[in-house]
Amino acid sequence: MKYYVIAGERSGDLHGGNLIRSIQRYDPRAVFRGFGGDDMQEAGMVLTRHYRDLEFMGLAALVTELRKIFKNLAVCKEDIRRFKPDVIVCIDYGGFNRRVAKFGREEGIPVHYYIPPKVWAWYQSRARDLKKNVTRMFVILPFEKDFYKKFGMEVDYVGNPVLDAVKAAQPAPNFRNELALDGTRPVVALLPGSRKSELRGIVPLMADLIRANPQWQFVVAAVSSLDDALYTPLRQSGVIFLKDRTYDLLQNADAAVVTSGTATLETALFQVPQAVVFRTGALEYFLARQVVKVKFISLVNLIAGREVVRELIQDLAVEEVVSAEVKRLLTDSQYRHGVKSGYREIYNTLDVGSASDNAARLMTQYLKSGHL
């Protein structure tokens, strides 16, 4: 079979690489081509465009780079026509991949969507477009299956790649000695996010938190892809910075303060009690409130269907409130136990085996059987 695979971000490249390796086990003659990154290329895909050439940030950049976006879309369509794949596999990257899916339907090519866009959170009407253009959905959050089935879609829950990554994490038993951490003082992990927009809203809050709580040891989970200058307010006495070692940190943290996003789920799966924080500009928050259709912002609470961790948003995302929540997580054993109990429920809900392996097995089964 010939697979045209499209991922437009670093995370999608990682998921795509794992998916390609898994497909090869079920379809040894598989041929891959598409948009992605180093991981997908190393897995055996012929790379047409690197995700770095697709990136843009924010509305202003979207306007200025509109020509590049449509050029990449045109390149993708023409490449698909030449390659003549048996299936197009879209991975996340909703704005681009929704257009590719429409093109696939028009060309009569089956479209499988692995990790579809989170239209259940906002713009739910876009699910109708996905229904029209996508042949099968492979979702990584349990509640997504029921959501998409409401629109009459063919959908499978395949597990969650975050859980797969957590299971595969190497132990870090010497972490505290390596960083010369004091064994008598709590370690509080700070996860400010991986996007510039996230850091701009949260870094000042975390800097206030550090100054107000010298009794705790703070370790910042930084990412190498971001400019060091974004972290400048956090560079205070005694604060430790770790780049690209979030899992090592979470295995050794007593509590965490986490920007909403995938990191909230990673923190939960490592059983670290956390406070979820989110703060953005007043206008951005107002606009988001108009379109967001979900009760919670953290994946932890969304998967559980209830509040497992406290979400401190906008006016609640201030030092005094966050400090009080972290203190409670560290000192109130009953409260801490309740949070961890919720985490275990989430782990068991997600744990249905390897997401990439399940997705690959089902994709190849459907393609070989003709049930596209």
CA dihedral 172, 175, 178, 181 (to 10 degrees): -170
pLDDT in tens, 316-358: 999 999 999 999 999 999 999 999 999 999 999 999 999 999 9
Q: Is 229 helix (H, G, I), strand (E, B) or coil?
A: helix
The answer to whether residue 142 scores a pLDDT higher than 80 is yes
Position 260 confidence tier, pLDDT thresholds 50, 70, 90: confident
Contact predicate 178/167, CB 8 Å: no
Q: Determine the topology of domain 2-159+352-369 in CATH.
A: Rossmann fold (3.40.50)
Average pLDDT over residues 200-224: 94
Q: In the chain, where are the structural domains located?
A: 2-159+352-369, 168-350
How far is residue 304's CA from residue 281's CA, in Å, rounded to a whole number? 28
Whether the domain at 2-159+352-369 and the domain at 168-350 fall into the same CATH topology: yes
The answer to whether residue 291 scores a pLDDT higher than 70 is no
Average pLDDT over residues 238-260: 95
Share of the chain above pLDDT 90, in %: 77
- Buried/exposed 291-318: b ≥16 CB within 10 Å, e otherwise: eeeeebbbbbbbbbeeebbbbbeeebbe
Position 124 confidence tier, pLDDT thresholds 50, 70, 90: confident
Q: Which residue has the tokens 């050439």?
A: 53
How far is residue 233's CA from residue 231's CA, in Å, rounded to a whole number? 6
348 or 200: whose pLDDT is higher? 348
pLDDT in tens, 155-190: 999 999 999 999 999 999 999 999 999 999 999 999
The amino acid at residue 215 is: Q
pLDDT in tens, 95-117: 899 999 999 999 999 999 999 98
pLDDT in tens, 34-82: 999 999 999 999 999 999 887 655 555 556 667 778 899 999 999 999 9
* pLDDT for the residue numbered 95: 87
pLDDT in tens, 9-27: 888 999 999 999 999 999 9
| Average predicted confidence (pLDDT) for the chain | 92
How far is residue 164's CA from residue 251's CA, in Å, rounded to a whole number? 15
* pLDDT for the residue numbered 55: 65
The domain made up of 168-350 is a member of CATH 3.40.50.2000: yes
